[in-house]
Amino acid sequence: MFATKMYQSNIDFVLIYFILLFHNVVISTPVINIYKTVSLSSTSDTEGVAESVTSGILLALQHCQNVFLWDKWNCTNVEFHRLTKSTATKEAAFSKAILAAAVVHSITRDCSRGDIQDCSCKPVRNELRGYNSNHRKNIQSVTDSTLDEANDSNSIKDWSWSGCSDDTSFGNLVAKDYITFEDDVFGSVGKHNYRVGREIVYQTMIKRCRCHGVSGSCSTKTCWMQVAPFKDVARKLKEKYNKAVRLSQDNVEAAVALSNSIKNDKKYLPAPEYALVYLEQSPDYCILNATNGWPGTKGRTCSKTLSEFTSVSERKSCRNLCRQCGHRVKKETRTVKKSCNCNFQWCCSVKCDICLEKVERHYCV
Amino acid sequence: MPGTILENLSGRKLSVLVTILVLSQLACFLVGLISPSPASTQSILATVCVDDKPQDDKLNHWFDLGCSKKIHLEREESTIGLDANNLVFAMQMPLHGQDYSSWQQNLVGELQIDVIYKEGQKLSNPMIELLLDARIAYSDKTKDGGRTPWKYYTHSQTKRFMDCIFNETFVKDGYPYDCTMVPLFELGSLFHDYYLLNLRLPYDKKKEINTGLGRVSDIYLHTIHMNGGFTKVWVSLKTVFFPIILAIMIWFWNRVHSLSRKPALLEYMLISLGGTLAFLDLPIEYFTLYFDMPYMLFLSDIRQGVFYAMLLSFWLVFTGEHMLIQETGEKNSLRKYWKHLSSVAVGCVSLLIFDLCERGVHLVNPFYSIWVTPLGTNLALTFVICAGLSAGIYFAFLCYMIWRVFKNISIKRSVLPSMTQARRLHYEGIIYRFCFLMFATLICAAVTICSFLLSQYVQGEKKYDENMDLELTSVIHTGVYGMWNVYICALLMLYAPSHKRWPSEPICAEGEEVEFSRLSNDTSTPNEISSLTSFVAKANIE
């Protein structure tokens, strides 16, 4: 019944879902394009994947705002979802990458909870990794075989033979399949950045080990990789953002044309494999842009907190946000009610006193 | 008295034998190539179920993924009004619609509790004391494709410690602490198809239960089980080795018994060494396919322990028997070596006690850990240190004895030029072959140590995106296991008494074809088994 309704573009789905979400509209059964390629065994799984993707988007947004808190561009809701569309600025590169990473992260998490039954246990990772122009075909063939009864029992045999330690491939599959691209310059840049985002999840994975040999000694030791907390992924992506590579449109066009003619599946952008790339100069984020709905930095809060744990961007925030944009920094002192002397009780209650505290707030005028 | 086969075997036969042994050793390494890695892991994120009536605490009430009321801890509003006793963390093993097979042997569970930082609620003590109420149920497949209802398997209330660090540079509300994992359980058998863990973290302020715990966002259970493929390869190896070692033992004992004398000490040692190896090789893993045998982990510890104890004792006695200083007339017995062997005994007994305290108790309570109480930790450490010390003493002793043997041999060697050529060739050959076996032992030990280090390195370096097709760890495991089997088979064969009767004068040929003959006047020391020792006695007489 779901297959009858299908959105043409996945990006459209992101948008629609996003808009609905932020207008508190409850949609019962979101339909996503995943049907076409990733075959899911049950309708509950489809819902599971859709829900998981949604929380992935929220995760991406939340962490995007966290890491850009003291920058001129601060990843507002509108901006974030605008940039995951077809622009090619540095910020768009970051938004795309963090969105892809968050989807992988979120699906992987829900897979390990057992909410999605179809999470892959098959050694398809090599097909999923790297990017190739006809990946859709590949995934199609991979997933077609899942439907095959014979292959299904084969995968069960694999489980009892060699186990299943890989939890991320399904997340990768969904994230990869979820987002479609145009075959133009912007499409290929976007594709690259999405792939960087997915790769980051692999690169930040944490290794955990356990000894279980004779008498619990380390004569046998088993290690496995676990997806890192998303804050680490976001932080790593921010580093990538700072080192993003700008490409000229002609360069990319030539590379795309070349890769189309020789059917080169491997990387075809003239850029480092794991660097974020962008084509366009970012607009001046100091000033208001009515068409995009960008408010400018006027009225933004900056920080003059100084402690050994203050980050560089926070320390420079007043200069960066206000003075560089021609604004003045204004100080405002207020007395606010704050909870203090909190006493947390596992699991679910906190008892706090209410204290009055003088807070200094700096902002651009 | 005839000597051992080692000395009486022609060079050609010996080289054929050595080639066969080396080839079977290679085969053991190659077998490892078809095997998957020894163990696999699966990380399971807990589903948080709400228990509305925690008061009527029934052990047959289970919460699985289909529980009626689920909450997400990261959404604080969904936890309002709930009490710690309301929360049940349910983990269903295994994930993805799979089921466990008996070939997967055992299951280790490791808990990872993600505690998040909340503004103004910093953890008072980074070392958190946890009290876990853990229950395990099992279920099996039914013939029509369904599942039997959950049945009680085991439960326990157990204490654990968790160390949490917070990286102050990136303090943000809602960011997780970096906490250590907590070992939770070890199941010695995977007889059932599905297992379910229900975990509770009760809270009691008066009794100070779980008061140090911060806001928990997630609980992961990392499960480790053996791989069915690896067990199959492993058991096949055992199935092949077991009849071979048994046949060699019978052949060896027949040879010893067909002699007119009583078996010598070294022969007793060899046959017991063969016996412990046969015990180790006995493929009782087959029974786990039909019976629930939770004591398998413990049993395999015991089997390995007995084997290593015997091997270490054998080396001592072997070196001692070749000391080349014979107290004439006195029959050697184990009693002579009690001082030497006591280090092995102390080491093994302390390891046994340690194992009994940890894995032995697991038979009754799979959640037990000796390391959680200070007394238990001290006790465990005492035993481990004791074992380590005796291992040190043992090796110092062994090295000293080997050094003495080699010193004696070099002294005797200086006497060699004064002998006739035939006799000299004869003794040089014996010393050469004795050293050869020493060398073989050294190689085996070195290979074992190196492969252990290598497997640690391999596990340490394993990256996620590497091509993991080649499983070095299982190659190392099967290879080393095969090596000790081959080594002991070789010992049994080469140190079996020879039946060959040689004329008193050696028929001397040249080079590799020399068939070494025996001394004619070897009646002075009736109980030695090798002519090397008789050579020494002879040299003493001269």
Cis upstream peptide for A364 (omega within 30°): no
Top-confidence residue, B471 or B304: B304
The rounded distance, in Å, linking the Cα atoms of A168 and A200 is 12
Site from B35, B42, B171, B211 to mutate, A interface, most A CB atoms within 10 angstroms = B42
Site from A62, A67, A224, A353 to mutate, B interface, most B CB atoms within 10 angstroms = A224
DSSP H or E stretch at residue A176: helix A169-178
Residue B244 confidence class, pLDDT cut points 50, 70, 90: very high
**Is the pLDDT at B293 greater than 80, yes or no?**
yes
The rounded distance, in Å, linking the Cα atoms of A229 and B50 is 26
Residue B275 confidence class, pLDDT cut points 50, 70, 90: very high
The rounded distance, in Å, linking the Cα atoms of A45 and A22 is 24
For residue A37, tell me if it sits in a domain. Answer: yes
Ordered DSSP codes for A142-162: HHHHHH-HHHHHHHHHHHHHH
- What is the pLDDT, as a whole number, of residue B524? 38
Number of domains in chain A: 1
For residue A345, tell me if it sits in a domain. Answer: no
Rg (C-alpha) for chain A, rounded Å, is 23
pLDDT tens for each residue of B41-68: 888 999 998 888 877 777 778 888 888 8
Contact between A161 and B36 using a beta-carbon 8 Å cutoff:
yes
- What is the pLDDT, as a whole number, of residue B519? 40
- What is the pLDDT, as a whole number, of residue B173? 72
Residue B324 confidence class, pLDDT cut points 50, 70, 90: low
DSSP H or E stretch at residue A221: strand A221-226
The rounded distance, in Å, linking the Cα atoms of B445 and A35 is 57
DSSP H or E stretch at residue B160: strand B151-165
- Residue in the structure block whose two tokens are 């190739």: A132
Q: Which residues of A touch B213 (CB under 8 A)?
A: 346
Measured between CA atoms, the residue of chain A closest to residue B180 is A208
8 A C-beta contact, residue B323 and residue B306: no
Give which of B471, B291, B222, B40 is closest to A160, Cα–Cα: B40
ipTM rounded to 2 decimals: 0.81
- What is the pLDDT, as a whole number, of residue B128? 87
User: How far apart are the two ends of chain B, measured CA to CA in Å?
Assistant: 20
Tokens of A125: 């990772």
- What is the pLDDT, as a whole number, of residue B222? 92
Contact between B203 and A345 using a beta-carbon 8 Å cutoff:
yes
- Residue B475, C-beta contacts closer than 8 angstroms, at least 6 positions apart: B29, B32, B33, B35
Q: Is A4 helix (H, G, I), strand (E, B) or coil?
A: coil
The rounded distance, in Å, linking the Cα atoms of B192 and B138 is 6
Site from B43, B79, B106 to mutate, A interface, most A CB atoms within 10 angstroms = B43
Range of the domain at A25: 11-284
For residue A223, tell me if it sits in a domain. Answer: yes
**Residues of B165-179 as b/e, b for ≥16 C-beta within 10 angstroms?**
ebeeeeeeeebbbeb
Q: Which residues of chain A have pLDDT under 70?
A: 1-45, 86, 120-157, 165-167, 178-183, 258-268
Tokens of A83: 């940039």
- What is the pLDDT, as a whole number, of residue A155? 52
Considering CB atoms only, which of B47, B98, B112 is closest to A156? B98
The rounded distance, in Å, linking the Cα atoms of B41 and B179 is 20
Contact between B96 and A121 using a beta-carbon 8 Å cutoff:
yes
Tokens of A260: 């189309």
- What is the pLDDT, as a whole number, of residue A43? 60
Q: Which residues of B touch A201 (CB under 8 A)?
A: none
For residue A152, tell me if it sits in a domain. Answer: yes
Residue B195 confidence class, pLDDT cut points 50, 70, 90: very high
- Residue B371, C-beta contacts closer than 8 angstroms, at least 6 positions apart: B377, B380
Tokens of A60: 């991406």
DSSP H or E stretch at residue A45: helix A43-67
**Is the pLDDT at B247 greater than 90, yes or no?**
yes
In this structure, chain B runs to a length of: 542
Tokens of B463: 């990256």
Contact between A205 and B168 using a beta-carbon 8 Å cutoff:
no
**Is the pLDDT at B541 greater than 70, yes or no?**
no
> What distances in angstroms separate CA B368 from CA A222, B57, B182, one per listed residue?
21, 22, 12
Mean pLDDT of B220-227: 91
pLDDT tens for each residue of A194-223: 888 888 888 888 888 888 888 777 888 888
For residue A154, tell me if it sits in a domain. Answer: yes
Measured between CA atoms, the residue of chain A closest to residue B449 is A219
Considering CB atoms only, which of B176, B201, B464 is closest to A202? B464
For residue A242, tell me if it sits in a domain. Answer: yes
Q: Which residues of B touch A165 (CB under 8 A)?
A: 40-42
Contact between B210 and A350 using a beta-carbon 8 Å cutoff:
no
Q: Which residues of B touch A207 (CB under 8 A)?
A: 462
- What is the pLDDT, as a whole number, of residue B168? 66
Considering CB atoms only, which of A202, A219, A347 is closest to B82? A347
Give how far A253 is from chain B: nearest CA, Å: 30
- What is the pLDDT, as a whole number, of residue A207? 85
Residue B72 confidence class, pLDDT cut points 50, 70, 90: confident
> What distances in angstroms separate CA B282 from CA B230, B236, B239, B242, B537, one per listed residue?
17, 11, 7, 6, 41
Considering CB atoms only, which of B82, B222, B477 is closest to A348? B82
Backbone region of residue B208 per phi and psi (left: phi > 0; alpha: psi in -120 to 50; beta: other values)? left
Considering CB atoms only, which of A126, A212, A216 is closest to B224? A212
Q: Which residues of B touch A224 (CB under 8 A)?
A: 41, 43, 222
Mean pLDDT of B521-528: 40
Mean pLDDT of B253-282: 88
When mean pLDDT is compared over B210-214, B246-250, B434-438, B469-473, the highest value belongs to B246-250
pLDDT tens for each residue of B378-397: 888 898 899 899 999 999 98
Other Cβ atoms within 10 Å of A260 Cβ, number: 13
8 A C-beta contact, residue A346 and residue B116: no
For residue A347, tell me if it sits in a domain. Answer: no
**Is the pLDDT at B85 greater than 70, yes or no?**
yes
Q: Which amino acid, A149?
A: E
Top-confidence residue, B455 or B479: B479
Considering CB atoms only, which of B94, B96, B354 is closest to A215? B354
Site from A166, A202, A215 to mutate, B interface, most B CB atoms within 10 angstroms = A215
The rounded distance, in Å, linking the Cα atoms of B116 and A347 is 12
Contact between B121 and A342 using a beta-carbon 8 Å cutoff:
yes
Q: Which residues of A touch B130 (CB under 8 A)?
A: none
**Whole-model pTM?**
0.82
Q: How many beta-carbon pairs below 8 A join chains A and B?
A: 182
**Is the pLDDT at B188 greater than 60, yes or no?**
yes
Residue B182 C-alpha from the chain's centroid: 23
Q: Which residues of A touch B452 (CB under 8 A)?
A: 219
Measured between CA atoms, the residue of chain B closest to residue A156 is B98
For residue A334, tell me if it sits in a domain. Answer: no
Phi, psi values for residue A197, rounded to 5°: -60, -45
Give how far A148 is from chain B: nearest CA, Å: 16
Measured between CA atoms, the residue of chain B closest to residue A353 is B120
The DSSP bridge pattern shows strands B107-116 and B127-139 to be unpaired
Considering CB atoms only, which of B39, B44, B73 is closest to A112? B44
8 A C-beta contact, residue B50 and residue B88: yes
Residue B504 confidence class, pLDDT cut points 50, 70, 90: very low
Phi, psi values for residue B192, rounded to 5°: -95, 165
- What is the pLDDT, as a whole number, of residue B389? 92
The rounded distance, in Å, linking the Cα atoms of B101 and B79 is 38
Q: Which residues of B touch A348 (CB under 8 A)?
A: 76, 79-84
* Average pLDDT along chain B: 81
- Residue in the structure block whose two tokens are 């010996």: B14
Give how far B425 is from chain A: nearest CA, Å: 44
Q: Is A5 exposed, middle or buried (0-12, 13-18, 19+ CB in 10 A)?
A: exposed
> What distances in angstroms separate CA B22 from CA A303, B16, B237, B270, B369, one per listed residue?
72, 10, 16, 21, 43
Top-confidence residue, B108 or A338: B108
Top-confidence residue, B61 or B278: B278
Contact between B222 and A219 using a beta-carbon 8 Å cutoff:
no
Other Cβ atoms within 10 Å of B63 Cβ, number: 26
Top-confidence residue, B357 or A33: B357
